Amino acid sequence: MTPLTLADTLLELLVVPSFARTGYAVRRRLFRWEDPSRWSLAGRTVVITGPTSGLGREAARSLAAMGARLVLVGRDAGRLAATRDALARETGNDALATVVADMASVASVRAAAATILATEPRIDVLVDNAGAMFAERALTAEGAERTFATIVLGPFVLLARLAPRLSESPDARVVSVTSGGMYTQALPLDDLMFERGAYHGARAYARAKRAQVALMREWARRLRHRGVLVTAMHPGWADTPGLAASLPGFRERLGRQLRTPAQGVDTLLWLAAAPREQVAPGRLYLDRRGRPFDRLPSTRLSAADRRSLWASVAAITGEPDLPAA
């Protein structure tokens, strides 16, 4: 282990400084990161969910500034249009399309995917960023718990539908934006919809994010032979409107230790645009370095567990299985 790697590992073990602004600042200096603005995405099409606020908005701005054609996917047509117009003004890039989809609705996502496939002759990158935390348990019109539907079911359908078009790209990538909160929760495979026990919004969110990362590993395994590079990243603790609304006490305690949105999306941009040889498929990244999937043995999902989760989600959504090569 080199001195730089040792310093990074020790920082990661401390958790709080690793996830906070300190971790980003220290690693940026240690590893002398190249600024994402130097990577061109000209000629490439990026589909991004949840682009109208927070990390998604910052990522969309940066991706547009890097020259990508963007397909902005969100549930509010008015906010999508306002975001598109603002991004065009801010970046000078008007290659921006909008598609309305409620990621909590399988039917809505299927319709959105059909629109994207009909209007976009190529797709190079899919950024799975949309997410939501709810204080009370509620079901969607299709009978799924809202958090799980938004973070797991909708994105699963979107990727399943777009995967054939993605695989036609010479440098296809999928980036899932997860949360360090997933480290705190096990995922009960027999209670994916949080039907048992007292519902807790942050716990449901963390469980759904753990499921998201487990499925990312399955997607990486099943799409590798098609040339699609699938990864996940967590942004650390970034100051966003979503954090302020869902965890105001946590935000107040961290204060200036929180990362800026730009710091939070740095690794997302790196995974989407950096030279392919720098990125390993099926890994979870923080600050451009692979991180463990588990911190507690009790939360670990085996390969068999991940296959079981995949089968359950495929059955719930009605999407056909995609076997590994």
Query: Catalytic amino acids?
Result: 205
Half-sphere exposure at residue 35, Cβ-oriented, CA atoms within 13 angstroms: 6
The answer to whether the CB of 234 falls within 8 A of the CB of 178 is: yes
Tell me which DSSP letter residue 75 carries.
S
What is the number of alpha carbons within 13 Å of residue 69 lying toward its C-beta? 12
For residue 46, what are its two tokens?
Answer: 């990026």
Adjacent-strand bridge partners of 172:
228
Q: 222: which residues sit within 8 A by CB, 6+ positions away?
A: 322, 323, 324
Return the bridge partners of 98, or none: 72
CA 97 to chain CA mean position, Å: 20
Judged by DSSP in three states, 47 sits in strand
